[in-house]
Amino acid sequence: MLACKLPRCATFSPKSVGAAPRSRTRVHVVRAQGINQNIRKEEQKVVDFVNAEEIKGKKVMCRCWKSGTFPECDGAHAKHNKETGDNVGPLIIEKKE
């Protein structure tokens, strides 16, 4: 039996000589999936405005779409990161006095 170590190479044995080679190619199908699982899904686009003049100290904004207080961060990204190995964190806006 002759074998090739390349991923697209067919394996031939005396029984398969003259027959069409079997493909050993694997196909992975990836489906696009939304990031926002449940926040204001009735809206065509979720947009929030923050008036920088009204910020006192700092404002912590969610970027993981998991916060129960969206658009403000409640730390939900920590659980998400632990479960998935991701590394998302909040956007912190700080007003310097």
- Which positions are annotated as active-site residues? 45
The DSSP code sequence of the chain is -B---STTPPPB-TTTTTSPPPP-----------S-SSSSTTSSS------GGG--SEEEE-SSS--TTTTB--SHHHHHHHHH------EEEE---
